[in-house]
Amino acid sequence: MSVAILRQGDVLIASVQSDLSDTQVLELRHELAVLVGRHRARGIVIDVSALDVIDSFVTRALRAIVLTARLRGADTIIVGIAPDVAIAMVQFRLNLEPLRVALDLDEALAMLDHRGRRDTEDGR
């Protein structure tokens, strides 16, 4: 698969290296679901900066990853959406709910850290 998945503390970082086939997108969803449990990950960051196009299938797959990870106890943030890709996604009126996005990895990690601190304060 052309996705590198690294672990940094309790966060999984999936870096998409090139365009993915439909099968590879489904494999990524499965692999992340398994790794969340194996590593007790509380967050996933998916870097899509290498993608030239994010079509409706990839958008649905990203949504499925977010929902699956949430059921497994992890938050997911998508990073690296290129300007042209973002414009096309809006023009195609792709349903982006419940995707959370950040500009880059640093911002995503800060968002996950902030969420983790808030949950700890709430006693979760």
Summarize pLDDT for 7-19 with one digit per residue, the tens: 999 999 999 998 8
Task: Classify residue 96: in a domain, yes or no.
Answer: yes
Task: Classify residue 124: in a domain, yes or no.
Answer: no
Tokens representing residue 92 in the block: 């195609």
- The pLDDT-based confidence of 22 (bands split at 50, 70, 90) is confident
- Average pLDDT (32-44) is 96
Q: Taking the CA atoms of the chain, what radius of gyration do you get in angstroms?
A: 14
Domain residue limits at 21: 3-119
Count of domains observed in the chain: 1
In this structure, are residues 84 and 92 in contact, taking their beta carbons and an 8 Å threshold? no
Tokens representing residue 15 in the block: 């870096």
**pTM, full prediction:** 0.89
Q: How many other CB atoms are found less than 10 A from the CB of residue 32?
A: 22
Q: How many other CB atoms are found less than 10 A from the CB of residue 78?
A: 21
Q: What is the pLDDT of residues 54-94, one digit of tens each?
A: 888 889 889 999 999 999 999 999 999 999 999 999 999 98
Residue 94 is part of a domain; what is its CATH number? 3.30.750.24
Q: How many other CB atoms are found less than 10 A from the CB of residue 113?
A: 14
